[in-house]
Amino acid sequence: MGKDLKLAVLIDGDNIPSAYVKEMMEEIAKYGNPTIKRIYGDWTRPGLTKWKTLLLDNAITPIQQYGYTTGKNATDSAMIIDAMDILYSEKVNGFCLVSSDSDFTRLATRLREAGMYVIGIGEKKTPDPFIVSCDRFIYIEILKSRSKENESNTSSKSVKKGGVDKITPKVIRLISKTISDLADDDGWAFLGDVGSLLQKKQPNFDSRNYGFEKLTPLIDSTGMFEIDQRVGQGKYKLMYVRNKKR
């Protein structure tokens, strides 16, 4: 996705901690320009007080939604209605839905059916149906943990060790199968294509989930794959990977 992608960022204020907003907005900026930024909630509730200063600092528009009925989430309905209005306005070509609530699964699916690129951001407790309904899903805890590591100047060596401990055989099989799907006659696959296909197969696949900033060091850490760096046109470095022969 390029920087010309116009994004509508819709945040479920009842479902996302305010402590993550800075890192979240920085992450969203990597994928496009957030031209619409709205957060939904009942702002008369004391629990949303922490959001108020952050909204001004990040130019996020608060949308008031009263809880008319006990046990019903009016915020969800307001977000869904607004999302459809924005879709038909044709002002954006992508959406970022910030919530850990599976109630937005159908919305994400509908937006993708309309040709929108959909990014989901939520906590690790987010149900799988919502995750797989997005083009890409990012765990918000990872954004906060990476920020803390940068502030404390954590060494890359310690980050790598932590990542290796989290890489399961299931993850290795996913990477291996993806490489095989894209490999040429010699077994080599362009790493950029591998990363894109991994994202399509598993929207929440992110090297940062395993303690690595990029896919290359994650793959290298497993010892299960060969990596070849080649020089392309304009002397750009191109990375290729293949499964090690057993």
| Residues 25 and 122 reside in one and the same domain | yes
The DSSP 8-state label assigned to residue 137 in this structure reads: E
CA dist 95 and 191 (Å) reads: 27
At 245, the pLDDT band (50, 70, 90 cuts) reads confident
pLDDT at 181: 96
Range of the domain at 217: 155-243
| Residues 107 and 135 reside in one and the same domain | yes
CA dist 129 and 5 (Å) reads: 25
Q: What is the domain-level CATH number for residue 138?
A: 3.40.50.1010
| Residues 28 and 141 reside in one and the same domain | yes
pLDDT at 192: 93
pLDDT at 236: 78
Q: How many domains does the chain have?
A: 2
53 lies in some domain: yes
12 lies in some domain: yes
Q: How many CA atoms lie within 13 A of 3 on its CB side?
A: 3
At 232, the pLDDT band (50, 70, 90 cuts) reads confident
Of 146, 163, 190, which one is at a domain's C-terminal end? 146
Residue 71 has pLDDT above 50, yes or no: no
Other beta carbons within 10 angstroms of residue 201's beta carbon come to: 13
The residues, any chain, with a CB within 8 Å of residue 204's CB and separated by 6 or more, are: 131, 137, 138, 139
Percent of the chain with pLDDT over 90: 57
182 lies in some domain: yes
Token digits of residue 5 = 């992608």
Of 146, 163, 198, which one is at a domain's C-terminal end? 146
| Residues 29 and 130 reside in one and the same domain | yes
Residue 163 has pLDDT above 50, yes or no: no
Of 91, 115, 146, which one is at a domain's C-terminal end? 146
CA dist 143 and 140 (Å) reads: 5
Lowest mean pLDDT, pick from 21-30, 137-146, 175-184: 137-146
Token digits of residue 113 = 């059916």
Its pTM stands at 0.81
| Residues 126 and 201 reside in one and the same domain | no
Q: What is the domain-level CATH number for residue 166?
A: 3.30.420.610
Secondary-structure breakdown of the chain: helix, strand, coil percentages, each rounded to the nearest 5: 50, 20, 30
pLDDT tens for each residue of 8-18: 999 998 788 88
CB 227 within 8 A of CB 242: no
Token digits of residue 64 = 């008031």
| Positions of E strands within 45-126 | 61-64, 94-98, 117-122
